[in-house]
Every structure is written in structure tokens, then in C-alpha cells.
Amino acid sequence: MRSNTAYEAQTSFASVLKETISEINTAQNASSDLTQKLALGQDVSLEDVMITAQKASITLEAAMQFRNKAIEAYQEMMRISM
């Protein structure tokens, strides 16, 4: 079993975070595109628009929950170190 150095862990976390943000952006863009197509009267089903919008919403909500937990953990570590 290989142990990660602090640099490797930081790099791994950064790449996961970057990928996650990219996925959130992709989901939001897909939702926006389908919504715009529906508004313009193009051949898009309302169900597809709603499902895509819900997926984008859930993805963003999960990211916000992760952010909140990360901030809480950071604040707790700052309290402990004092």
C-alpha cells in the first residue's frame, strides 16, 4: 500500500475538485440550452427539459453541501489549533 505525500493528496484533491466543477458547469449549460430550445419552440420535450434541470439542480446542491462541510471542517480545525 502506497502512502500519499501531502503534495500528492493536494494534487489529487485539486484534480477531483476541478473535474467536479466542470461536471456542474456541463449540467448547468445543458439545462440552460434545453430550456432555451424549448422557449424558442424547437423540438424538445418538456420532460427532457425538466429532467435535465433537476439533474443540474441536484448537482449544484450537492456541491454546495460539500462546500459547506469543507468550510465547517476548516473552521473546526482553526478552533482546535488555537
Q: Span 63-82, mean pLDDT?
A: 90
The answer to whether the CB of 56 falls within 8 A of the CB of 27 is yes
- Beta strands in the chain, from DSSP E residues, in sequence order: none
* Residue 1: pLDDT over 90: no
The answer to whether the CB of 51 falls within 8 A of the CB of 8 is no
Residues 6+ apart with CB under 8 A from 63: 20, 21, 24
C-beta atoms surrounding 52 within 10 Å: 19
**pTM for this model (two decimals):** 0.74
Percent of the chain with pLDDT over 90: 74
Which pLDDT score is estimated for 2?
56
